[in-house]
Amino acid sequence: MIKHIFLVLFSLFLTVFANDRPLQEQLFMQALPANDYSVALDGSTESEIDPPEIQSVPQKSRGKAMLFSLILPGLGEKYAGAHTRAAFFMSTEVALILSYIGFKQYSHWRKEDYKTYAASHAGVDLSNKTDSYFVNIGNYTSISEYNAAKLRQRNLQEFYRDEQAYYWEWQSQAHRHKFDQLRISADKANSNALFVLGAIFANHMISAIDAMWSAQQYNKNQQKSLSVNMYWGEVGQDQGMNLALIKHF
């Protein structure tokens, strides 16, 4: 008795399955592995139904990505869809530029400070003076002491013959040390600005290389993607199905 009931139920199931296309589609879709393959179910000939369209996979140019990041770090990563790394390189560029401006401005302020300080406490005439001159007045108390040292060294090229134009004499050693601290801080700030300038250049180069890699990864991921299509049809009076696998390489 149970055997007969099972046969009847199985026959009804086959009948429903043969005539209910939504149910067929649902059952076959559940049987497919997720994100693995694209299957087209077709019961008709090519003349009766259009085949599934194979859409081209969009590609990103590595050359464009590199050029964009050379112009502005992070722009190439954004073009390649790597938004997190794009934000990192862009924020790094902004921070470096602000640091460079800050160091240069601080160096300028300190330079003006030590020049004014030398004029006030050593009687320096600031017109037409080179950076090496201010280094010298920070190392010697007066021009007389400096010239005497150069004569002992027989270094006449650095001897100041016009003592009136290059005159200086510090009021005290404390003033000279204070001046030298201001000058050194200005030079350090300028050196830091040059270091940051090198870091800006490095950020452009690293971002350009990373943008090329990001574009390559984007293309690689797109090539691995599969398009999925499912359709039903009839061949003559019989219903059936065909499986078609479509993969992009």
pLDDT band at 56 (very low <50, low <70, confident <90, very high): low
Average pLDDT, the chain: 79
pLDDT band at 20 (very low <50, low <70, confident <90, very high): very low
pLDDT at 175 over 70: yes
Do 82 and 185 fall within a single domain?
yes
Q: Tell me the residue range of the domain where 70 lies.
A: 62-223
Do 240 and 199 fall within a single domain?
no
pLDDT at 245 over 80: no
Do 84 and 47 fall within a single domain?
no
pLDDT band at 58 (very low <50, low <70, confident <90, very high): confident
pTM: 0.65
Do 112 and 209 fall within a single domain?
yes
Q: What's the number of domains the chain is made of?
A: 2
pLDDT at 48 over 70: no
Burial 136-160 (b: 16+ CB within 10 A, else e): bbbebbbbeebbeebeeeeeeeeeb
Q: Is 168 left (phi over 0), alpha (psi -120 to 50) or beta?
A: beta
Do 143 and 155 fall within a single domain?
yes
